[in-house]
Amino acid sequence: MNTVGKNVKHFRKKQGMSQEGMAAELHVTRQTVSNWETGKAFPDIDMLKRIATTLDINVNDIIYDAAEKKPGHIIKTVSAWPVLYTPVVFFFLYFFGMIIYGPLFERTIGGGVAETFLYPLYFGQILLATIMVLCTCIVVDEIRRRGARDGEDE
SS (H, E, C) the chain: CCHHHHHHHHHHHHCCCCHHHHHHHHCCCHHHHHHHHHCCCCCCHHHHHHHHHHHCCCHHHHHCCHHHHCCCCCCCCCCCHHHHHHHHHHHHHHHHHHHHHCCCCHHHHCCCHHHHHHHHHHHHHHHHHHHHHHHHHHHHHHHHHHHHHHHHCC
Q: What is the pLDDT of residue 89?
A: 81
**Least confidently predicted of 26-35, 48-57, 135-144:** 135-144
Q: What is the pLDDT of residue 79?
A: 73
* pTM, rounded to two decimals: 0.44
Distance CA 2, CA 45 (A): 16
30-54 pLDDT per residue, tens: 999 999 989 888 898 899 999 989 8
Do 129 and 83 form a contact (C-beta atoms < 8 A)? no
- Pick from 18-32, 96-110, 132-146 the range whose average pLDDT is largest: 18-32
Do 33 and 22 form a contact (C-beta atoms < 8 A)? yes
Distance CA 100, CA 97 (A): 5
Selected residue with higher pLDDT from 31 and 141 = 31
Q: What is the pLDDT of residue 154?
A: 41
Contacts (Cβ under 8 Å, ≥6 apart) of 34: 19
Q: What is the pLDDT of residue 153?
A: 45
Do 87 and 126 form a contact (C-beta atoms < 8 A)? yes
State the amino acid at position 59 in one-letter form.
V
Q: How confident is the model at residue 124 (pLDDT cuts 50, 70, 90)?
A: confident
